[in-house]
Structure 1
Amino acid sequence: MSFGDSLYMFQLKHYQTTVRTEVIAGITTFLTMAYIVIVNPSILATTGMDKGAVFVATCLAAGIATLAMGLWANFPVAVAPGMGMNAYFAFVLVGAQGYSWESMLAAVLISGILFYILTLLRFRHWLVEAIPEPLVFAITCGIGLFIGVLGLKSSGIIVSSPATLVTLGSLHSPEVLLSLLGFLMIVVLDYYRVKGGILISIIAVSMIGALFGISSFHGLVSMPPSLAPTWLHLDINSVLHVSMISAIVTFFILVLFDNTGTMLGLLEQANLHDEVKGKRLTRAFYIESIGTALGALLGTTSLSAYVESAAGIGAGGRTGLTSVVVGVLFFAVLFFAPLATAIPTYATAPVLVYVAILIFRCIVKIDWQEIRVAVPCFITVVMIPLSFSISDGIGLGILSYLIIYTLTGKAKEIPWGLWPIGVLFIGLFFLAH
């Protein structure tokens, strides 16, 4: 089989892309989300889990699931332990509510199995079909705005403030100035249609930072730590207790809507509209569920489609070849951890802001003249970043949609499947808040 034949499965010509574009997109996605191999172990280590083992579990789970996303679903979407879910796992379930990390890993395993069953029963497809199109666009825009906030926060352009929640950061900071430089480089290179502009910006800003001593280089190669401290360390018996039910249900619903909403937003950004109800989406849902179960066995939290995949999509990624590149890099980083950590946040943060702008373009697809549509869409778009939760923003948007359409005498126009989703979110808000 020739090299060209081996790439036929990705349908590069059909999606009007090339091997070079897909490889650059994969590297771009990986660089924007590589922080997870550092941040996830740091968060989960607060529960008593071995940091080195979680690092290995994170790389393996993300690598396997992302490879599967590329080879089986042919989507340019990377999968890794979800940010937000790991914080909920560590700081709420284990830290505040006192569950052991072993019992919570068992809960993650159960949620993965439940995801698989719901996909088998086509519940997640039903969920996708039940959400009205304007809300799908609103979710996409909300995710874009969320990505933008993450980028601005990571770059230091905005910082927390006790008086105003957020405020402008120090524009004298070298990191902020380099982030602004990186953003301008991306915009200008995109204007002149320079291929790989995002990747060029990341590398250039990283090199400038190293040249002026703002960031440092700690070596190239190291052997990965042992996985033994977390491998198969699940307390299955604990999940049989009644006290665990609310924790498992809340965790499950949060992950369900967060994952589904993110996947819809990414497919919209990649212009893969025709795949929203197809076999490839089903395969993607299977991969997320099996990946979550595998992650629990390895020693990490539930896996999710990553919003940072939008960076690779913005760089031109349209097929699973992008994901294959990301998956391979996750395996490689096991042995190149010093190199992976050498890419500073201020170099990747501008990418998120730029991608947020690309995603936010779909806001024009919402009919803002129709007040019954405009209000729930606005709530969805705004509350995703303000609540710092994709699932919370989706829930508030759906509930406002149900209430407004009912009070204006248009209840018959509401898709029947949206009602049980609304009930689920009411229960979720009572349990989680």
Structure 2
Amino acid sequence: MKGFILRHFQIEQRKTSIKTELLCGLLNFFAIMYIIVVNPALFEHAGMNFGGVFLATIVATAIGCFYMGMIANYPIVIAPGIGINAYVVFTVVVSMGHSWQDALGACFVAASIFLVLSMTSFREQLISSIPECLKIGITAGIGLFVTFIGLKNGGFVVADPSTFVTMGNLTDPGTALTAIGVLLCLILTILNVPAALLIGMIIIAIIAGIIGLLPLPSQLVSLPTGIDTTIGGLEFDQIHEMLPVVMVILLVTMFDTTGTMIGVAKQAKLMKGGVFPNLRSALMADAFASFWGTLLGTGPCSSFAESSAGVMAGARTGLAAVTTGLLFITLIFLSPLAQAIAAVPAITSPVLIIAGIQMFGEISTLDWNDKPTLFPSVLACIVMPLTYSITNGVAMGMISYVAISIAAGRRKDIHPLLYLFTIWFLLEFLKIIQ
């Protein structure tokens, strides 16, 4: 067994050890474990059963990690993405009024296309058709969107008839605890504490229990219930109306997860001459996990930046990812405890807020002196939270980029596919106007 592990994962060639990889896999597990609470809590807003999404989250994460580890041999964790799933829940279901079954149907179609494209070089071409400035603006905009959702769920931001939004009541115990949780998670993150978000959640959960906001369930350990209500529950009745949603899910998932993978690979010094070895297998991992995840009852999967926790500790092979996947399976029996924690927004909201802030940090990489690329990027960024729609942000970013580039005499900077996306989004806007 040891010989197989050494050979398959190229342990000696990558100058690491089995012990190091196992420990780093454990570290990544703790860094990302919060997803088993946050992701099902998101989908509860769409009317889905917590237990079903809980199980789907665990299984989809395990599938993604196993594929990434065994086939691609990279120490990168794959799990349901917070940003894209917040879009699925709060824009597609809550705002647009689609059922969660139709929303998952759109996710499945996007994942299927994603999987097919990942087998070819067209995925890279599709990603390269989106200018870097728009990728930055869209990622930052999703960050603002997720942060806004976290602030809203935690009671920090509330509706106001005059100003649309205003500050919540900080004397409310739940809102005050959200504020404390945000500060705590920020401090832990800035201090580079391993598994900062998970530790923050645990501390806030303890405080919530002490002040009576978190009543513990009578049964702490059991298998999740309601699985039959989510597995295979996706529908395709409205798919013809949801093509823009499919497009957004596909594009955002593709360049978001690709950027994270490349960033983690660079950090692990696994890039060779600027080239990502075995890239196609790595890209298949998130596509494969998304495909099965949507069938099981959760949204699209993505590579997680938290993988850098293990990389910083020495992870260099897929053994770390496999270890993380195996550890996730052991969480299946914690459904009652996870559901009790998820029922307290003050515990989960800080994670959404901090995750959103980290995504928004991408905006710092913009070229602030190049106005033709700056304005479309910032427009895409601010339209998302203000219209409560990632679709609108992507559309406005692409349309304005093409229009400004043409006006500035930069037609050569516009990829032919971008013209097609722009025309399509314009037609969709015209449908809305009519």
Shorter-normalised TM-score: what interval?
0.7 to 0.9
Aligned to 1:282: 280
SS at match of 1:82: helix
Q: In the superposition, relative to structure 1, how do residues 60 and 42 fare at CA in structure 2: closer, same or farther (>3 Å)?
A: farther
Q: Give the C-alpha shift of residue 368 in structure 1.
A: 1.4
Are 2:78 and 2:285, in contact at CA under 8 Å, matched by a contact in 1? no
- For 2:120, the aligned partner's letter is L
- For 1:364, the aligned partner's letter is S
1:249 to 233, 243, 253: 243
Aligned to 1:294: 292
Deviations 1:334-360 (A, max 9, x none): 321112123343234334433444444
Are 1:333 and 1:340, in contact at CA under 8 Å, matched by a contact in 2? no
Aligned to 1:412: 412
Aligned to 1:335: 333
Q: In the superposition, relative to structure 1, how do residues 208 and 43 fare at CA in structure 2: closer, same or farther (>3 Å)?
A: same
Q: Give the C-alpha shift of residue 402 in structure 1.
A: 0.7
Q: Give the C-alpha shift of residue 223 in structure 1.
A: 2.8
Q: In the superposition, relative to structure 1, how do residues 212 and 53 fare at CA in structure 2: closer, same or farther (>3 Å)?
A: closer
List aligned pairs for 1:381-392, cutoff 5 A.
Answer: 381-392=381-392
Are 1:56 and 1:334, in contact at CA under 8 Å, matched by a contact in 2? yes
Are 1:78 and 1:326, in contact at CA under 8 Å, matched by a contact in 2? no
Task: Give the structure-2-normalised TM-score.
Answer: 0.76
Structure 2: distance between partners of 1:154 and 1:233: 26
Structure 2: distance between partners of 1:172 and 1:83: 28
Q: Give the C-alpha shift of residue 207 in structure 1.
A: 0.8
Are 1:108 and 1:302, in contact at CA under 8 Å, matched by a contact in 2? yes
- For 2:354, the aligned partner's letter is Y
Q: Give the C-alpha shift of residue 170 in structure 1.
A: 1.0
Q: In the superposition, relative to structure 1, how do residues 192 and 42 fare at CA in structure 2: closer, same or farther (>3 Å)?
A: closer
Aligned to 1:303: 300
SS at match of 1:167: strand
Q: Give the C-alpha shift of residue 169 in structure 1.
A: 0.9
Q: Bigger CA drift: 417-426 or 74-83? A: 74-83
Are 2:221 and 2:335, in contact at CA under 8 Å, matched by a contact in 1? yes
Structure 1: distance between partners of 2:54 and 2:402: 43
Matched, 1:82 2:85: yes
SS at match of 2:333: coil
Structure 2: distance between partners of 1:397 and 1:326: 37
Deviations 1:250-297 (A, max 9, x none): 442132123224325645775859699746653354344434443454
Structure 2: distance between partners of 1:378 and 1:128: 20
Aligned-CA RMSD value: 4.1
Aligned to 1:400: 400
Are 1:56 and 1:226, in contact at CA under 8 Å, matched by a contact in 2? no
Structure 1: distance between partners of 2:409 and 2:399: 16
Q: Give the C-alpha shift of residue 221 in structure 1.
A: 1.0
Matched, 1:220 2:220: yes
Q: Bigger CA drift: 265-274 or 417-426? A: 265-274
Structure 1: distance between partners of 2:94 and 2:189: 40
Q: In the superposition, relative to structure 1, how do residues 373 and 249 fare at CA in structure 2: closer, same or farther (>3 Å)?
A: closer
SS at match of 1:84: helix
Matched, 1:27 2:24: no
Deviations 1:50-79 (A, max 9, x none): 776565445434443354345545323423
Are 1:136 and 1:264, in contact at CA under 8 Å, matched by a contact in 2? no
Q: Give the C-alpha shift of residue 381 in structure 1.
A: 1.9
Q: In the superposition, relative to structure 1, how do residues 305 and 388 fare at CA in structure 2: closer, same or farther (>3 Å)?
A: farther
Structure 2: distance between partners of 1:168 and 1:322: 43
Aligned to 1:177: 176
- For 1:340, the aligned partner's letter is A
Q: In the superposition, relative to structure 1, how do residues 268 and 390 fare at CA in structure 2: closer, same or farther (>3 Å)?
A: farther
Q: Give the C-alpha shift of residue 380 in structure 1.
A: 1.9
Q: In the superposition, relative to structure 1, how do residues 269 and 212 fare at CA in structure 2: closer, same or farther (>3 Å)?
A: farther
Structure 2: distance between partners of 1:245 and 1:188: 44
Task: Give the structure-1-normalised TM-score.
Answer: 0.77
Q: In the superposition, relative to structure 1, how do residues 78 and 403 fare at CA in structure 2: closer, same or farther (>3 Å)?
A: same
Q: Give the C-alpha shift of residue 404 in structure 1.
A: 0.4
Q: In the superposition, relative to structure 1, how do residues 53 and 245 fare at CA in structure 2: closer, same or farther (>3 Å)?
A: closer
Q: In the superposition, relative to structure 1, how do residues 329 and 392 fare at CA in structure 2: closer, same or farther (>3 Å)?
A: farther
Q: Give the C-alpha shift of residue 228 in structure 1.
A: 4.7
Q: In the superposition, relative to structure 1, how do residues 173 and 327 fare at CA in structure 2: closer, same or farther (>3 Å)?
A: farther
Q: Bigger CA drift: 178-187 or 317-326? A: 317-326
Are 1:62 and 1:79, in contact at CA under 8 Å, matched by a contact in 2? yes
Are 1:56 and 1:225, in contact at CA under 8 Å, matched by a contact in 2? no
- For 2:257, the aligned partner's letter is M
Q: In the superposition, relative to structure 1, how do residues 188 and 431 fare at CA in structure 2: closer, same or farther (>3 Å)?
A: same
Structure 2: distance between partners of 1:160 and 1:67: 43
List aligned pairs for 1:145-160, cutoff 5 A.
Answer: 145-160=144-159
Are 2:115 and 2:284, in contact at CA under 8 Å, matched by a contact in 1? yes
Deviations 1:122-149 (A, max 9, x none): 3321121122222222233223323322
Structure 1: distance between partners of 2:36 and 2:234: 27
Structure 1: distance between partners of 2:51 and 2:354: 33
Matched, 1:40 2:43: yes
Aligned to 2:373: 373
Q: Give the C-alpha shift of residue 12 in structure 1.
A: 9.0
- For 1:68, the aligned partner's letter is Y
Are 1:22 and 1:317, in contact at CA under 8 Å, matched by a contact in 2? no
- For 1:149, the aligned partner's letter is F
Q: Structure 2 regions of 5+ residues with no counterpart?
A: none
Deviations 1:185-244 (A, max 9, x none): 334445555444433322212111111212121131123336455655677xxx6xxx86
Are 2:258 and 2:283, in contact at CA under 8 Å, matched by a contact in 1? no
Structure 2: distance between partners of 1:144 and 1:71: 31
Q: Bigger CA drift: 368-377 or 337-346? A: 337-346
Q: In the superposition, relative to structure 1, how do residues 105 and 43 fare at CA in structure 2: closer, same or farther (>3 Å)?
A: closer
Structure 1: distance between partners of 2:256 and 2:202: 27
